[in-house]
Chains A and B, each alone.
Chain A
Amino acid sequence: MSLKLPIYMDNHATTPCDPRVFEAMSPYFTEIFGNAASRNHRFGWDAEEAVENARKQIADLIGAFSKEIIFTSGATESDNLAIKGVAEMYYEKGDHIITVVTEHKAVLDTCKKLEKRGFKVTYLPVASDGLISPDDVKNAITDKTILVSVMLANNEIGVIQPIAEIGKLCKERGILFHTDATQGVGKIPFNVNKFNVDLVSISAHKMYGPKGIGALYVRRKNPRVTLVPMIDGGGHERGMRSGTLNVTGIVGLGKACEIAQAEMEEESGRILSLRNKLHKGLVDELPEVFLNGDKAHRLPGNLNVSFAYVEGESLLMGINDIAVSSGSACTSASLEPSYVLKALGVGEELAHSSIRFGLGRFNTEEEVDYALNRVTDAVNRLRELSPLWEMVQEGIDLRTVQWAGE
């Protein structure tokens, strides 16, 4: 089989829609187009049935009940609804929220907004492996704490946080626990009861479903969680999220969850071996390649590495038939390198040199071999072009250099 270029290896940004998902969605655009809230005719009933079927598929994947699934437009909305919804509902109980510095911006910016409204937020640090310590959560809890929000797996470095331990802690203290599980659900085992989680954000397009649809798991028993809605209207989704349901998207999310549940074990093993092959190949071929984030507690498809003395964006340019991401400032609008890598204590120089490979369901070994060759060649070429590499070869310690403009 010949290799098809360009190769997609940016599956943390988004995933292609699985053809099986697309096929399941297809009739709901044109034939079964009813409004799931239309209670008195066939068109509405059929749409409602599809929605309820999907709700069950999603609930099954995370060990929840169907009624605990609220549909949203995606994980950003789910994060907003979970955090703001809890803050507004429970502010009389307390005004303190605990989260982590490496969370997604949908969580961090939401917390920052709540700070402006008078809430107090603790942003826990991470260790150099990107993981937080449950003890830090324990020590940060006060009698005013109403919510802890910690992501399941990080979108940049793929590290998996100790959710079960934090969940146990929160349950003991009677504090609600939210996890942004966008990157982890469908990729690694996750169960709301085993992990003691009360609120879970899910997105379809990170798990081979369509964009624009997501869900929020909201626990109904022990404890029964109530949220103040952000969108008011027809009282859909138990009043927590009004708006006509995106039936097509919901069917897609449901199907994506069903496939993930059936294939997760086999698939994660296959992707892990591809990831390990890529990592080993790079380290064997090139000196001074550094893994960002813990190796063991990591999503199977994630490889985030820094190629010292090579700037990330220039590397992306050199491998332009492979779609990956960089933590380099030059690839972002902010002109600051990745805040996640900085939180790990990775030097800014190495943050500028980082590349995130996100392997997924449709990547092949042939593609990994190709990427390995292309990256190795580009890094070698750019190091020949790098004054830093030259200085290091001459035995100069870059930390002793007085840089202009510092």
Chain B
Amino acid sequence: MAYSDKVIDHYNNPRNVGSFDKKDPSVGTGLVGAPECGDVMKLQVKINPDTNVIEDAKFKTFGCGSAIASSSLATEWLKGRSVDQALEIKNTEIVKELNLPPVKIHCSVLAEDAIKAAIHDYQKKQGTENKPEEAMANA
């Protein structure tokens, strides 16, 4: 399978690799996927509680090149967005940006799930979650 240039670029130079302290109240952590399925993404956001803006994002991913690229791209897009704007990110936008083939669409779905799970975790810590059902359903 040939990879798009953008997937190769994210794979070779992944953005924002790393971890924040999970216990930090301003940090939300999303861990999605399962090792048996061949994909696990950990995506973290650091949010300014006063402005509700994502100031930083980090990821680590076990998965194929497309999964690594999807999560790397997600961290790029998250920085500087408000929580509400972040929740608007759709997997189809990731598919489009990275030119993912149909067999790799699940990688983008996982990235969207990771974003929602990370924000939900932050909201839970802050006690500000307003739509837990929706966040859970997407996690």
Contacts and interface: CB of A to CB of B under 8 A. Distances in A.
Contact of A311 (B64, B103, B117, B139): B64
A388 B34 contact: no
B63 A349 contact: no
A406 B68 contact: no
A387 interface: yes
Interface residues of A, number: 29
Q: Which of B14, B33, B36, B62 has the most CB of A within 10 A?
A: B62
Interface in B91-127: 103, 113, 117
Nearest to B61: A385
A404 B62 CA distance: 14
Contacts of A388: 35, 40, 62
14 contacts: A311-B63, A311-B67, A313-B64, A314-B11, A317-B3, A317-B11, A348-B36, A352-B36, A384-B17, A385-B60, A385-B61, A386-B61, A403-B35, A404-B33
Contacts of B61: 385-387
A347 B36 CA distance: 8
A314 B68 contact: yes
Interface in B48-98: 60-65, 67-68
Given A385-B17, A387-B61, A405 B38 contact: no
Interface of B: 3, 8, 11, 14, 17, 19, 31-42, 60-65, 67-68, 103, 113, 117, 139
A155 interface: no
A384 B68 CA distance: 12
A329 interface: yes
A381 to B, nearest CB: 9
A62 B31 CA distance: 55
Interface in A314-360: 314, 317-318, 328-330, 333, 335, 337, 347-349, 352
B60 to A, nearest CB: 4
A23 interface: no
Q: Which of B17, B32, B61 has the most CB of A within 10 A?
A: B61
